[in-house]
């Protein structure tokens, strides 16, 4: 099964992609993780990406499509964070077509702005190993310290409230045409992502099995 996850920042795409990858035994392609890794390594691509991410802007289509193509092979997959607009959706169709593959479903995780800001602004990440935490939903045993490696927990620049609001505005602008793109192809599934993560996953499974 080849699936993409759509949704606003804070809709839980990363959490659901990880769960689906583990429980459905499919490859997870997380565009955000791949790009952040490039930034961390200070590669030429990472330097370009940094300029956009830290301002809450989207990385140009050409760059992200190239990264996605490099990570798609014959394995079943779930993609988190791509496509984000109809141009990228068309790019994805072309990428899959070149590899003699096709997309099965586009799952839209529908979330309110209030829920999204609460989730993202409370997120913390380990500076050393990259482990994720949340000050309310998944706090570390010791405040500000990673349970795994003892590293310092930080707030990502793009998880600061003002940047989140910019990301939300950019997302809303691109979202309606993108949803219509997949709706017209009869591949769109809409799931209420304001629920707890396990409830969201169960709804995803139910709709996939009936879709």
- Per residue of the chain (211 residues), give pLDDT as tens: 999 999 998 899 988 999 999 999 999 999 888 888 888 888 888 888 888 877 777 788 988 888 899 889 999 999 998 998 999 999 999 999 999 999 999 999 999 988 888 888 899 999 988 888 999 888 999 999 999 999 999 998 878 888 888 888 888 888 999 999 999 999 999 999 999 999 999 999 999 986 4
pLDDT given for residue 143 in this prediction: 94
Task: State the catalytic residue, choosing from 156, 165, 187, 207.
Answer: 156
Residue 152: its pLDDT value, please? 96
- pTM for this model (two decimals): 0.80
Domain range list for the chain: 2-113+162-209
Question: Which CATH number among 3.90.1150.170, 3.40.50.1950, 3.40.630.30, 3.40.50.300 corresponds to the domain 2-113+162-209?
Answer: 3.40.50.300
In the residue annotation, 84 being an active-site residue is answered as: yes
Say whether 156 is catalytic: yes
E strands in the chain? 2-7, 27-30, 77-80, 105-110, 123-126, 132-134, 153-154, 188-192
Q: Given 28, 36, 50, 84, which residue is catalytic?
A: 84
Residue 111 CB: number of other CB atoms within 10 A?
22
Is 13 noted as a catalytic residue in this protein? yes
Distance CA 126, CA 198 (A): 24
pLDDT computed for residue 109 by the predictor: 96
Told to judge if 28 belongs to the known catalytic residues of this protein, a careful annotator would answer no
Per-residue pLDDT, 161 = 80
- Active-site residue among 13, 105, 119, 124? 13
Q: Which of 28, 50, 119, 167 is catalytic?
A: 167
**Can you give the pLDDT at residue 132?**
85
Residue-level pLDDT at 117: 86
Q: Is 124 a catalytic residue?
A: no
């Amino acid at each position: 099964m080849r699936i993409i996850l759509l949704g606003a920042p804070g809709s839980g795409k990363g959490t659901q992609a990880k769960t689906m990858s583990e429980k459905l035994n499919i490859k997870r392609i997380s565009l955000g993780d791949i790009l952040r890794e490039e930034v961390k390594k200070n590669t030429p691509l990472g330097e370009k990406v940094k300029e956009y991410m830290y301002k809450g802007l989207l990385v140009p289509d050409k760059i992200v499509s190239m990264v996605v193509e490099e990570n798609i092979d014959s394995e079943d997959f779930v993609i988190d964070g791509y496509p984000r607009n109809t141009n990228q959706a068309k790019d994805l169709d072309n990428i899959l077509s070149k590899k003699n593959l096709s997309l099965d479903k586009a799952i839209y995780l529908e979330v309110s702005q209030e829920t999204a800001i609460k989730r993202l602004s409370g997120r913390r990440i380990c500076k050393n190993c990259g482990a994720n935490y949340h000050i309310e939903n998944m706090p570390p045993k010791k405040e500000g310290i990673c349970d795994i490696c003892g590293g310092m927990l930080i707030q990502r620049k793009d998880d600061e409230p003002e940047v989140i609001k910019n990301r939300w505005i950019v997302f809303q602008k691109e979202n309606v045409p993108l949803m219509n793109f997949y709706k017209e192809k009869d591949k769109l599934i809409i799931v209420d992502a304001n629920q707890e993560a396990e409830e969201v996953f169960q709804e995803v499974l139910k709709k996939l099995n009936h879709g």
